[in-house]
């Protein structure tokens, strides 16, 4: 029995050690951790959609504690919006090269179409995310000023091409930059989002390397002939 005045050894009143799951990463690691989570979440949402995605699964695949997902993003919906914003920004970054691309209006439009087609071909996750967001009525991107601004540089580039062609008396079709973008993006996106069904319905191998190359050239020539009356630039 302990003598009077001796402090008894007891867990009571002692500060408990924080659990590993409650610890926050050092500030220097925060940005890196968020990047890892965004990458894992992008794959999770692109594969399973918003409804089918699971925070447990993306946390496990990223090697980051589940609690940190909520610490950084607050909720599954907020994480989904962050993924969409990141995806749109990455998509738009591909087009910064157009700022320094000189040449005639047909040459510049050819470059634009090729770039758009290649971006969608190489980033199937972006298409999957956009398709899923359309299923949800675009309700998440309505909350984002970031996403609303991402397409502005693309429209500015098309406005410049149209203006140049008009000044050179080479323009055969008067069209707004928005309508031109919708037409080009529509032709490109429709092809990639319907490869499986079109292959069956048309009884033709859609999406093979050869077919992708042929489709790319077809869309380029279609745009050039429509806008300038001739292709082969």
Q: How confident is the model at residue 144 (pLDDT cuts 50, 70, 90)?
A: very high
- Same domain? For 207 and 134 the reply is yes
In this structure, are 96 and 197 located in the same domain? yes
What pLDDT is attached to residue 101?
Answer: 74
CB 18 within 8 A of CB 97: no
Q: Please indicate, yes or no, whether residues 134 and 41 belong to a single structural domain of this protein.
A: no
Q: What is the pLDDT of residues 3-18, one digit of tens each?
A: 433 333 334 444 443 3
Q: How confident is residue 233, by pLDDT bands cut at 50, 70 and 90?
A: low
pLDDT at 100: 74
Instruction: Give backbone dihedrals phi and psi of 104, rounded to 5 degrees, phi first.
Output: -75, 165
Answer yes or no: is 218 within a domain. Answer: yes
The reply to whether 32 falls in a domain is yes
CA-based nearest residue to 91, from 226, 194, 188: 188
Q: How confident is the model at residue 125 (pLDDT cuts 50, 70, 90)?
A: very high
Go through 151-176 and write b for each residue having 16 or more CB atoms within 10 A of its CB, e for each that does not. beebeebbeebbebbeeeeebeeebe
Confidence at residue 8, expressed as pLDDT on a 0 to 100 scale: 36
Q: Which domain, by its residues, includes 126?
A: 90-228
**Within this chain, do residues 119 and 157 fall inside the same structural domain, yes or no?**
yes
**Does the structure show a pLDDT above 70 at 131?**
yes
183 lies in the same domain as 109: yes
**Higher model confidence: residue 23 or residue 48?**
48
Residues 66 and 119 in one domain: no
Q: Give the chain's domain count.
A: 2
Same domain as 219, residue 129? yes
- Statement to judge: residues 98 and 176 lie in one domain: yes
Q: Is the pLDDT of residue 26 over 50?
A: no
Question: In the structure encoding, which two tokens stand for residue 44, read together?
Answer: 């999770």
Q: Which of 39, 74, 109 is the last residue of a domain?
A: 74
Question: What is the C-alpha separation between 126 and 167, in angstroms, rounded?
Answer: 36
| Residue/partner pairs of 158-167 with CB below 8 Å, 24 or more apart | 158/112, 160/108, 161/105, 161/108, 161/109, 161/112, 162/105, 164/104, 164/105, 164/108, 165/105, 165/106, 165/227, 165/228
Q: Which residue has the higher pLDDT, 5 or 223?
A: 223
Q: Which CATH number is 60's domain given?
A: 1.10.10.60
Flag whether 188 is in a domain.
Answer: yes
CA gap 165, 188 in Å, rounded: 23
Could you report how far apart the first and last alpha carbons of the chain are, in Å?
97
Domain limit, last residue, from 43, 74, 105: 74
Q: Are residues 191 and 220 in the same domain?
A: yes
174-222 pLDDT per residue, tens? 999 999 999 999 999 999 999 999 999 999 999 999 999 999 999 999 9
Per-residue pLDDT tens digits for 155-167: 999 999 999 999 9
Residue 78 confidence (pLDDT): 95
Please check whether residues 54 and 108 belong to one and the same domain. Answer: no
pLDDT at 106 exceeding the cut of 70: yes
Question: What's the Rg (C-alpha) of the chain?
Answer: 26
In a domain, 15, yes or no: no
Q: Decide if 214 is inside a domain.
A: yes
Q: Which residue, 48, 74, 100, sits at the end of a domain?
A: 74
Residue 191 lies in a domain: yes
pLDDT score, position 9: 37
Domain match, 47 and 111 both: no
Whether residue 152 is contained in a domain is answered as yes
pLDDT of residue 7: 34
Long-range contacts of 208-216 (CB under 8 A, 24+ apart): 212/121, 215/117, 215/191, 216/114, 216/117, 216/118, 216/121
Whole-structure pTM value: 0.82
Q: Which residue has the tokens 């062609």?
A: 165
- The pLDDT, as a whole number, for residue 56 is 94
**Domain presence at residue 130:** yes
How much is the average pLDDT of 90-116?
A: 91
What DSSP character marks residue 21?
G
Q: What is the pLDDT of residues 42-98, one digit of tens each?
A: 999 999 999 999 999 999 999 998 999 999 999 999 999 999 999 999 999 998 888
User: Residues 6 or more apart from 90 whose CB is under 8 A from it?
Assistant: 123, 126
Q: Of 172, 176, 181, nearest to 228 (Cα)?
A: 172
99 has pLDDT over 90 = no
């Amino acid at each position: 029995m302990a003598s009077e005045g001796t402090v008894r050894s007891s867990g009571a009143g002692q500060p408990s050690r924080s659990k590993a799951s409650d610890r926050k990463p050092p500030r220097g690691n925060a940005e890196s951790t968020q990047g890892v989570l965004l990458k894992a979440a992008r794959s999770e949402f692109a594969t399973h959609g918003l409804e089918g995605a699971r925070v447990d699964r993306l946390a496990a695949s990223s090697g980051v504690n589940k609690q940190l997902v909520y610490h950084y993003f607050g909720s599954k919906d907020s994480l989904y919006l962050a993924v969409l914003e990141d995806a749109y920004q990455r998509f738009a970054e591909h087009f910064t090269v157009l700022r320094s691309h000189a040449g005639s209006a047909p040459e510049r439009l050819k470059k634009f179409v090729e770039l758009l087609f290649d971006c969608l071909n190489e980033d199937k996750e972006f298409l999957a995310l956009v398709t899923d967001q359309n299923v949800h009525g675009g309700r998440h991107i309505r909350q984002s000023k970031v996403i609303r601004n991402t397409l502005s540089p693309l429209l500015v580039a098309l406005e410049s091409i149209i203006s140049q062609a008009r000044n050179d008396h080479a323009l055969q079709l008067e069209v707004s930059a928005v309508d031109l973008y919708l037409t080009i993006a529509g032709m490109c996106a429709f092809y990639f989002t319907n490869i499986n069904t079109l292959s069956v319905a048309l009884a033709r191998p859609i999406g093979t390397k050869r077919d992708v190359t042929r489709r790319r050239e077809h869309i380029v020539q279609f745009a050039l002939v429509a806008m300038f009356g001739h292709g082969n630039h």
